[in-house]
Amino acid sequence: MDIASPQFWVAVLQIIAIDIVLGGDNAVVIALACRRLPKEQRNQGIFWGVFGAIALRVILISFAFALLAIPMLKIIGALLLIWIGIKLLQPEPEDGTHEINASTTLLGAIKTIIIADAVMSLDNVIAIAGAAKDSIGLVIFGLIISVPIIVWSSKLVMRLMDRFPIVIIIGAGLLGWIAGDMAITDAIIKKWVSTNAIFLHWLSPVCGVLVTIIVGKWLAAKSLKKKTPIVDLVKDIDKP
């Protein structure tokens, strides 16, 4: 993909948005892994941990590109992305915590960051592979820009998400858009779509957005309805 083309920069913006929306937990993990390091080593731990995490993610996305070339796997990946988008719209669990062991050594903290990032990054890897359209150079460029934003601006990003829920909805919608676009480029239907149903190039992403947001919000509302009676009961018990 040509760096001067609008498609390149749209894809870069998508990768940055994906990492910001899905990468908040990764930023928390980095902070937790380095919290016991001496002050003079914390920045080194963050830098090398992030460097290793980026390198590992590029490798994982390279494998994802190869896998997504297999017929039907892009469709499966698209369905998984829609599910990730739906999960993004669900209310946070009240007792959600990160079980991360902080290390007292620099190498230990770096290892913790890299391993935790690998375990937590399945959603990022699939979404970025879909947005990058088989360009590993685009992946590297997008990650180099977005990961520092996550690490050094994570608190600001999280506050924005808490204050403006529309940011989460936009992020979920973006995943739905990428899923819809990915599904119609699957090897098994790509040629047929280009020959007989060109309109699916815009209709499928729009449907992906609508399905992700509508189902996600419906499930979130259903979940809140279940919680409300319990919350009211606890309040009643606590009353003198």
What does the pLDDT read at residue 230? Answer: 47
What does the pLDDT read at residue 66? Answer: 81
What does the pLDDT read at residue 5? Answer: 74
What does the pLDDT read at residue 231? Answer: 46
8 Å CB contact between 24 and 157: yes
What does the pLDDT read at residue 92? Answer: 66
Token pair of 224 as six digits: 């809140």
What does the pLDDT read at residue 42? Answer: 77
What does the pLDDT read at residue 26? Answer: 65
What does the pLDDT read at residue 204? Answer: 94
What does the pLDDT read at residue 207? Answer: 95
Q: Which of 137, 126, 125, 130 is nearest to 186 (CA)?
A: 130
What is d(CA 43, CA 100) in angstroms, rounded to the nearest whole number?
Answer: 18
What does the pLDDT read at residue 210? Answer: 95
Q: How many CB atoms sit inside 10 A of residue 31's CB?
A: 17
Q: Which of 151, 183, 5 is nearest to 78 (CA)?
A: 183
Q: Which of 94, 99, 139 is nearest to 119 (CA)?
A: 99
Token pair 């988008």: residue: 85
Instruction: Spell out, as residue ranges, where the chain has pLDDT lower than 50.
Output: 96, 230-231, 233-238
User: Does this model's pTM top 0.75?
Assistant: no
Token pair of 82 as six digits: 């829609």
Domain map of the chain by residue range?
6-238
Name the maximum alpha-carbon separation found in the chain. 71
